[in-house]
Structure 1
Amino acid sequence: MNPKFYVLHDIPGRIRFHIPALRDKKNHVEIEHMFSALKGITSVRIEPTIQTMLIHYDVSQLSRNTIFRYISIFFQQTRLDPLDDIMIQMDPATRNDWLRTLFSGGLLLLAGIRKSSFYKPDALVYGAVVATGYTVLSHGTSNKMRHPDILTGIVTMLSLGPSNMLYVAMITWIVNVLELLHEKQKVQSQKLSTIT
């Protein structure tokens, strides 16, 4: 189940959400009035065409986490897992990249645990390698062959050989995680530079 909303931008006193459920709601003015009536919220503006809700609030009276709870309750967001607080801050493309990475990492871990010294690849190993390949290839929009995780996979495959494909996938997966963390840091620094 996908989250019911995500944060487009968040600066103290102002937060903009993308809420796909706004497309189906017709009472936008009533929703604006209801949220505006909450203590600490100074104004609310809904743009139904692009499914966004902009909330201005007084940081001395209201925390952003409380606003998240209000939005979650109103749009019936269920807590998915402990990663929900982190995932809600990401745009859908980044969130999907991380979910694919976590899934393929879990498969790699499972395949690595099952691996014995008399190793013959089985369906789990092939599945983990394919999932990792898909994760790496589906991430990013620029020239995919220049991504560090792709280059690492190619170099590792050439040096370790096809019989060690689980190790190749693990190394490629690690580089993919490092690349995602680097992109996250880059986005955060860009947000900070636009605020100042």
Structure 2
Amino acid sequence: MYFKYKIIHLIPGRIRLTVPALANTSEYSAIEEMFESIKGIENVRIEPIIQGMIIHYNQTELNHKHVLRYISLFFQQAQADIHTLLPGREELRKDLIRSFISGSLLLAAFLRNNVKHRPDAFDYLVVISTSYTVLSHGENKLSHPDVITGIISMLSLGAQNILQVAMVTWVVNLIEVFNDMRRSSQLLYL
């Protein structure tokens, strides 16, 4: 993972940087304290508005390359933590995989249905798979749009059109998963 920063000013004992990753946090005092705890770094000041960082260091204990290495390592790790530890990302990936599997099964069932007219065990397996996909997504199961759509579709289309009900419910579930992924991505930039 590549981390970007720009050196604005460098003189022995003092570095001024622009660090775009500072836009992703509000924990400025914690970052300052963490860097000031490193032997040889005397003072750190973060300027959040311009995403700047000024570091005063003792030249007899550190050189500017060591300081830049500490900065780079810290922000690379922080960036990795944001992407991998964001709550729900792994669950969203599982939801998407389940939804694609159910969609593939639904497609196979519809292609088979052109040949026959009565539902069989495979059709019921597809409906159960779609139901599991819909009910395993999210927290409050009964107020989810995909569950509500499934109930309304079942009442309006009837049990004899169970594959159509499953298809409508699956489409709403897929839209909902993509919407959750979009909202989760936007959290990265807050």
**Same fold by TM-score, threshold 0.5 exceeded?**
yes
Partner of 2:133: 135
Distance 1:150 1:169 in 2: 10
Between Structure 1 and Structure 2, the one with more helix by share is 2
Q: Which runs of 5+ in 2 are unaligned?
A: 5-20, 22-70, 81-87
Structure 2 length-normalised TM:
0.55
Q: Which residue number in structure 2 is paired with residue 112 of structure 1? A: 110
Q: Is the 8 A contact 2:89 2:184 kept in 1?
A: no
- CA RMSD of the aligned region, Å? 3.0
Q: Cα–Cα, structure 1 residues 185 and 11, in superposed 2: closer, same or farther, change >3 Å?
A: farther
Residue 127 and residue 12 in structure 1: after superposition, are their counterparts in 2 closer, same or farther (change >3 A)?
Answer: farther
Higher relative contact order (Cα pairs below 8 Å, separated by 6+ residues)? 2
Give the Cα–Cα distance (whole angstroms) in 1 for the partners of residues 79 and 180 of structure 2: 28
Please give the residue correspondences for 1:49-128 in structure 2 after superposition, counting only pairs within 5 Å.
54=77, 91-116=89-114, 118-128=116-126
Tell me the distance in 2 between the aligned counterparts of 1:162 and 1:106: 21
Q: CA offsets per residue over residues 57-87 of structure 1, 9 Å max, x none?
A: 9xxxxxxxxxxxxxxxxxxxxxxxxxxxxxx
| Matched-pair identity in % | 40
Give the 3-state SS of the residue equivalent to 1:43 in structure 2.
helix
Cα deviation 1:34-66 (Å, max 9, x = unaligned):
xxxxxxx94269xxxxxxx92779xxxxxxxxx
- Larger Cα Rg: Structure 1 or Structure 2? 2
Do 2:92 and 2:180's aligned partners in 1 also have CA atoms closer than 8 Å? no
Inter-CA distance 164–191: structure 2 relative to 1 (3 Å threshold): same
Counterpart of 2:156 (choices 135, 159, 173) is: 159
Q: Identify unmatched segments of 5+ residues in structure 1.
A: 1-9, 15-40, 46-52, 58-89
Contact 1:150-1:172 within 8 A present in 2 as well: yes
Moved over 3 A (4+): 10-14
Equivalents in 1 of 2:109, 2:103: separation in Å?
10
